[in-house]
Structure 1
């Protein structure tokens, strides 16, 4: 598996993953095009056969905060570390940007994703009622605050 920048030609492989995982709540092609046009940080995980295994993205205004836009892994590639690798890439990019706070929303019934995020220091900070439509599923908002590096303007060691 390798990570590479998410480009327009990946959209055709991402849409079936999106449909399978999120059904009626899937992102449209236009939403992906908009994310790419906005210059948000996106990566795809590509298998040895060249197929997209998963994808993930960040958006926001560093250094204050960024949002994990999505992390999704094809069903037949789940539980093989693909999501973990994608999340680690997003964390590394946030660190490169000096981001202090990362936030995300995850469906309240997605315990596996919540456990993964908690492993990497994300903590629940709130709930968005009826966030996912049309299912009206609540979203748990989770946040990860970066450790101070000691080299900022307000750090007085």
Structure 2
């Protein structure tokens, strides 16, 4: 089940995310204070995946920063014992939905070039590679792909009459 992080006890959420960060990202993990600051930062949307049986055990988390145009995926993580069970897919689907609700035109992210499961997840959701950031992940110095997913259709030039909604075509026929 996916819930907004604000629906749960803040201190418990911070502690659990910091614990999962250590398990998942070792030397690149966010500290407890970094997690607290990230959750409190403006324009952030964070969701939690909780266990379906007790609705309180956090098994995953994900969030983005929305700047008024783009939603920047900040992080996504799933308890190692719950990976490959669709949790990351549920979180990403929910984040994409929230970004669309907020009016984001696209979602951006960085992902380690050696993180094959994450790359596969993002590609299945339609993200396209944009570029490469050399030595982005520190202290290991691992490169990152930048990726983007268009969330809102972009009209370039004039829209054809066939592409216009039916009610607009009918109005134009009566002028």
> Same fold by TM (over 0.5)?
yes
Structure 1 position 146, deviation (Å): 2.3
Runs of 5+ unmatched residues, structure 2: 165-175
The structure with the largest helix share of the pair is 2
* 1:61 corresponds to 2:67: yes
- Taking structure 2 as the reference length, what is the TM-score of the superposition? 0.81
Structure 1 position 149, deviation (Å): 7.7
Structure 2 CA distance, aligned partners of 1:46 and 1:155? 46
Structure 1 CA distance, aligned partners of 2:100 and 2:66? 13
Runs of 5+ unmatched residues, structure 1: none
- Across the two proteins, how many residue pairs are aligned to each other? 152
- Helix, strand or coil for the counterpart of 2:140? coil
Query: What are the residue-to-residue correspondences of 1:114-129 with 2, within 5 Å?
Result: 114-129=119-134
- Helix, strand or coil for the counterpart of 2:35? helix
Residue of structure 2 equivalent to 1:51: 57
- Helix, strand or coil for the counterpart of 2:81? helix
- Helix, strand or coil for the counterpart of 1:134? coil
- Helix, strand or coil for the counterpart of 1:125? strand
Structure 1 CA distance, aligned partners of 2:37 and 2:152? 32
Structure whose alpha-carbon radius of gyration is higher: 2
Specify which of 103, 109, 112 is matched with residue 114 of structure 2: 109
Structure 2 CA distance, aligned partners of 1:109 and 1:124? 14
Structure 1 CA distance, aligned partners of 2:86 and 2:112? 20
The CA RMSD measured in Å over matched residues stands at 1.7
- Taking structure 1 as the reference length, what is the TM-score of the superposition? 0.90
- Helix, strand or coil for the counterpart of 1:121? coil
* 1:93 corresponds to 2:98: yes
Check conservation: 2:66, 2:99, Cα contact below 8 A: no
The structure with the largest strand share of the pair is 1
Structure 1 position 96, deviation (Å): 0.6
Specify which of 24, 29, 33 is matched with residue 30 of structure 1: 33
Residue of structure 1 equivalent to 2:75: 70
